[in-house]
Amino acid sequence: MSFLSKTAVVAAALAGLVLPVQAEDYPTHAVRIIVPFAAGGPADVYCRQLAQYLSDALKQPFVVEDQPGAGSIIGTTAVARAAPDGYTLLAMSNTHTVNESLVPNKPFALMRDFVPIAPINYSDLVMVVPPSVPAKTLKEFIALAKAQPGKLNYASSGTGTPYHMAGELFKSMTGTNIVHVPYRGSSGARNDVLGGQVQMMFDAITTMAPNVKAGQVRALGTTGTKRSTVLPDVPTVAEAGVPGYETTIWLGLMAPKGTPQAIVAKLNAEIEKAVNRADVKEMWAKQGAVPMTMTPAAFGAYLDKDIAKWANVVKTANIKVEQ
């Protein structure tokens, strides 16, 4: 064997030793979690909680950075272009699986340019209207919308977000014409519903429930298959007049394609420990959030299934991106 060949063999052997060492030592400095949604929404809130647990467990700062805009595409693009070294992570939700069919001309493809790490949690949404809307029940709201086609508006945190898709699914299943008003983030949408500028919103129960309990908005239905323990007096949308209606918001983490598998596995294990903590489960249960745990491979399969599910909804309901 020539000297160059021996050198190549040694180099290859050493390269094979790099990843386990990286994973064992990881992280050696701060890790960024990019949240491509506005501050104050579920992704921001729960990722900050998770970041604290990861910081404590792995002895390095996990820092959340909100980079909202374009229905999550701005922040997601930034992560897709980051080094695949485990130091830039993506907070993601079913907004991302929806966007695979809703926004085909993105600078990235989810399952091509990212690797799954782990899910975090899921929660139901709640359909709310401000007190100025005369409808007291879901059936009354549907009747109002049908009597005034195109006159009522509903807010969302942006095109392709769970709030948007919940609204479009509702319109499709009820045959109503309600105008979508996309915002840059959920906080702006929520504020305008609370202020009565917009007539309806599907919002995460984890963030809107306090406003419902304070009487600032009227809850017409929740979006799970059974009533929420947080708002037990509010019927599900299916129960209140739209049989078969169901949707949730879920959150997870991904990393740029090429991130070492050992680092992904280490993060998955620490996230599973965090979401299974008794104090976390208790706190989230009071807010209406349910922990999710899966291996990276199982989470990848879950993402593939969700992409296919929403592609069918987008096609069937003929949902288009607002220009």
Taking the model in full, what pTM does it have? 0.83
Q: How far apart are the first and last CA of the chain?
A: 63
Enter the tokens of residue 71. 């229905």
Q: ∠ CA(124), CA(205), CA(195), 5° rounding? A: 135
Residue 310 near residue 94, CB atoms below 8 Å: yes
Residue 32: predicted pLDDT: 98
Name 214's Cβ contacts closer than 8 Å, sequence gap at least 6: none
Tokens 């280490």, residue? Answer: 266
Q: Is 305 helix (H, G, I), strand (E, B) or coil?
A: helix
Half-sphere exposure in the Cβ direction for 89 (13 Å, CA): 31
- Sorted by where each starts, the structural domains of the chain and their CATH numbers stand as 3-122+250-316 (3.40.190.150), 124-240 (3.40.190.10)
Residue 93: predicted pLDDT: 96
Q: Positive or negative, the Cα torsion across 170, 175, 176, 180?
A: positive
Q: pLDDT (tens digit, 0 to 9) for every residue of the chain, 323 residues total? A: 554 455 555 555 555 444 444 578 999 999 999 999 989 889 999 999 999 999 999 999 999 999 998 889 999 999 999 999 999 999 999 999 999 999 989 999 999 999 999 999 999 999 999 999 999 999 999 999 999 999 999 999 888 889 999 999 999 999 999 999 999 888 899 999 999 999 999 999 999 999 999 999 999 999 999 999 999 999 999 999 999 999 999 999 999 999 999 999 999 999 999 999 999 999 999 999 999 999 999 999 999 999 998 998 888 778 877 54
Over the Cα atoms of the chain, what is R_g?
Answer: 22
Enter the tokens of residue 192. 């305008």
Residue 5: predicted pLDDT: 52
Residue 316: predicted pLDDT: 79
Q: How many residues does the chain have?
A: 323
d(CA 124, CA 219) in angstroms, rounded, equals: 13
**Dihedral angle over CA of 55, 59, 60, 62, nearest 10:** -10
